[in-house]
Each structure stands twice: as structure tokens, then as C-alpha cells.
Amino acid sequence: MLNSTKYNTILYYISLLSFILGIIMIIPLLISFSYREGIEIYQAFYYTIIISFTAGVLLKLPTNNKDIEIDLTTAMLLCALAWITISLLGALPFMMAVDKSFIDSFFEAVSGFTTTGITVFTGLELMPKSIIFWRSLMQLLGGLGILTFFLLIATRSKGESWQLFSAESHKINVSRPVPNIFKTVEILWAIYLGFIFLETVILMLLGLSFFDAVTHSFTTLSTGGFSRYDASIGYYAANGFSQAVLIEYVITFFMFLGGMNFLLHYRIFTRDLDSVKTNSELKTYLKIVLYSSIFISILIIFLNTALDSSAEEIFRKSIFQVTSILTTTGFGTQNINSSFFPAAARQLFIVFMLIGGSVGSTAGGIKIMRLNILGGLFKREVKKIYLPNRAVLPVTLDKQIIRNDEINKLTGLFSFWLFLILIGGVITSIFSDLNGWQAYSGMFSAMGNIGPFFFSVEEMASMSPIIKMTYIFGMLAGRLEILPVIILFSRKAWK
């Protein structure tokens, strides 16, 4: 039998989320008016607002405000259902405004909110600006987490609300800047929006329109990667923007900030530089970006001898793409499947898709900190071979001992992550004519919330609905770190 308290709590919070989404949808509605985009576009957002409000009312009716209780299981169920609900509502403008199918609209909405950035839309330059803005706004909201945004503006309820915060665990480290949950959320969102504002101003100074600067800033700091252009950031160089080189460097820098632990940003702003300097994850992050960019640049210079590009251009494109894929942003200045990048470079890109950015960032993937822990676990097993049996060999990170239960959770998560990529790759191979390399790149991209893959957007758009649903599952599982999505199918969790 369904637990009535769980049922009440879940419906109560999802109803509030539906109301909030309806209010947020007013922004693209106003943009459609300002650009005089026509009655069909107005109606798409207007009807979505009405549907969101109606859903909120209908879900709220059977609930009782006093019977709200959030434990970890309820928080995980709520987290998964909330992301599915807002993606369904967020898909409606695509269906009504640009006449996309349900599966493509739902796919695009999930990709947007999870900040994956895989798109099944082409001809982006011709789409209404309100639709382009909505795609970017979805990634802004999904960057630090829908539930963290909800906590920021909608509730000051019991301390149990921390469970909602931790359900989106891969975005927030266990430690917090301050003990109070709501103050923590406010700090994180202040840093996040501050970076977005700063990038917007810089991009405008470099010649981008206000609209382009805002939408690309939304999708840079959220490490989402949706662009207004089919050519992504490569559009600016291809169309003769005088500051195209600086635009690429600026976006590279802000992608890097988005892939960095936001707690470290807070430490920098409060001048706690010692904890930043000694942070092993940040050191590893910097080394991967710098060393791999240099290595790929060398590969291009020596293996792509027919290429007529300067060393600076090669390095710029290399560091842009390394940062874009490692932070799971997914912007591009050069097609990663082109001959510009040698095979070894493309293989490294696949590895970066798995790794992802830092814990506590807006990036997807397994996370660098966790790979550091797995590396420490491997070193411990090696030491066991030659040290006495009585030797105590804890796994440590930044001089802190990692508990065995955390190690067990990590190894289980990592193993199942790889298993889902395997299943997704096999399904893609069965229901498409892609080769094995391409098929696995699609599921790597979905699970890592990245965006790029080793086939074309047109091929992705024409994929079987079975593959698209597989990727939708992968995007949600990757964004929520598997457990909240899997627990939806557990009967015991609902009891």
C-alpha cells in the first residue's frame, strides 16, 4: 500500500514546482511579445502557463499542508518525479510553437534541464527567439538544480528540507559554506548568477548582442552548452566576428569556472586561499585541462600535417574542446568528429566524457574527486601486497579519511554507471546503423550530461524513439546520479 505521507509530500512539492514553472514561463512569453513573434508563439507559452497552473491546482487539492515529512527515500522519489514533471511541462512550448513531436520535445526539455545539451533540433538560427531563450533558461535553472532553486524562492520549511538539497547530490559537496541550508543555497546562487552577469557584460563588450550574450552565459555557467546557432561557438569565427578569438577564450574561462567546485569559489571570495591551494581535486582538474590540451595540440601538429593553422589556433581549439567536454558543457568551435582531431584525441574525449568536472560544480560525469578516491583505493590494494597484514591503510583525500561505506557507495555507483553506458550503447547499435564507436559515444554523452557525440545532429534527430527514450533515461540518471531514478521502480520505496 502506498505510504500516504509520502504521497502527500510528493504531490505537495510537485504542485508548488508546477506553479513556479508557470510563473517562470511568463519570461519567454514576454520575450515573444517583445519580438512580435506571432499568435502561435504567444499561445504556446500562454497555454503552457495555464497547464502548469492547472496541474499545480489539481496536484495540490488532495494534499494536506500539515502532513509533510521528508526523509531520504521521499526526497529521492520527489527529486526524480520533479525532474520528469518539469521536463514534461517544459516540452509543451516546443510542441506548440515549433511543431515538434512529443518525443523530440520531451528529449529537448530533459536535455535542457539536465544541462546535457544534446539537441534534436536543427535550424536554430531560424527558430523564434523566445524558444531559444527558453532552451537557455532551462539550462540556467538546471545548472545548480531545480530543487535548490525551489528551496531558494519557495520554502523556508523544516530542516528536513536538506534532504531535497542532498537528493541532487552530485552538484553539492557534503560540506557547506555555512551551516544554514537556505543561506548555503543563497550563497551558491549568488555566485552562480554573479558569474553569469559578468560573462554577459564581457561578451557584450566583445561585440555580441545582448540576446546572444545572455543566452550563451546561461548555458556556459550551467555547463549546458545549448547555443543559438547550429555551429555553436564556432559561428562567430565562421561569420567574421572581429573578436572571435577573445570570445572563445572568455567562454573557455567561464566553462572552467562552471566545472569548478562552487564551494572553492566561495573560499576564494572569502580569502580562504589555503584551502583552495591544497584542494587535490582542483589540482587534478587544472592538470587534466592543461596537460591534455598541450598533448592534443602536439598530436594535431605532428599527425595532421595537411592542416594550415597556427600553433595558437590549434592550442585554442584544443583547450576549448578539452574544457568543454571535461566540464560537460558541450560547446564547440570544431567538430570533434572531424579530421582536425586525430583518433587519439577523440579517444581522450571519450575518457573526459566519463570523468566530468568537480564535485559541487554544475558539471556532469563521475567527477574528478571520485576518480581521485578510486585511485587512492587502487594504491591501497597495491600496498597491501608488500606491507604487513596488520598495517592500517585508510584511503585519504586532502588528509581526510574516506569511510568504507562511502567507498562502497562510490564503487557501486561507478560500476552501475558503466553498466548503463554498456546497455545504452548496445540498444543504440541494435536500433540504428551507427558503428560501435558512435553508438557508445551517444550514451556516454547522455550519461555524462555532455552533448557532443561522434555522429551528426541530423542522425540524432532521426533516431528511433527507443534510442531517444534510452538517452532520456540516461540523461536523468546521469544528472541525478542514478539512485533517485532507479528507486522510482522500487515498490518498497513507496511503502
pLDDT score of 113:
95
**Cα gap 494→482, rounded to integer Å:** 17
pLDDT score of 491:
83
Confidence of residue 212 (pLDDT cuts 50, 70, 90): very high
**The cell 550503447 sits on which residue?**
425
Confidence of residue 18 (pLDDT cuts 50, 70, 90): very high
Does 320 have pLDDT greater than 80? yes
Residue 411 included in any domain: yes
Specify the pTM.
0.92
Q: What would the pLDDT profile of 26-47 be if each residue is shown by its tens digit?
A: 999 999 999 999 999 999 999 9
Write out the three cell numbers for 312: 595558437
Residue 486 included in any domain: yes
Ramachandran category for residue 365: left, alpha or beta (phi over 0 → left; psi -120 to 50 → alpha) = left
Which residue range(s) make up the domain with 461?
405-494
Q: What would the pLDDT profile of 69-85 be if each residue is shown by its tens digit?
A: 777 788 888 889 999 99
Q: Give the Cβ contact number of residue 31 at 10 Å.
A: 21
Residue 200 included in any domain: no
Q: What would the pLDDT profile of 245-255 be if each residue is shown by its tens digit?
A: 999 999 999 99
Does 158 have pLDDT greater than 70? no
Backbone torsions φ then ψ of 435, nearest 5 degrees: -80, 175
Mean pLDDT, rounded, for 224-235? 95
pLDDT score of 68:
75
pLDDT score of 171:
44
pLDDT score of 1:
47
What share of the chain in percent tops pLDDT 90? Answer: 63
User: Residue 362, CB half-sphere, CA atoms under 13 Å: how many?
Assistant: 38
Q: What would the pLDDT profile of 254-263 be if each residue is shown by its tens digit?
A: 999 999 999 8
Residue 266 included in any domain: no
Does 101 have pLDDT greater than 70? yes
Residue 469 included in any domain: yes
Residue 448 included in any domain: yes
Residue among 259, 236, 487 at smallest CA distance from 358: 259
pLDDT score of 161:
57
Q: What would the pLDDT profile of 441-484 be if each residue is shown by its tens digit?
A: 999 999 999 988 899 889 999 999 999 999 999 999 999 888 88
Does 169 have pLDDT greater than 70? no
Q: How many domains would you assign to the chain?
A: 1
Write out the three cell numbers for 325: 567536454
Residue 87 included in any domain: no
Burial class (CB within 10 angstroms; exposed 0-12, middle 13-18, buried 19+) of 402: middle
Residue 461 included in any domain: yes
Mean pLDDT, rounded, for 339-354? 92
Distances (CA, A) of 48 to 25, 119, 421: 8, 21, 34
Does 173 have pLDDT greater than 60? no
Stretch (H or E) spanning 396: strand 396-397
Confidence of residue 394 (pLDDT cuts 50, 70, 90): confident
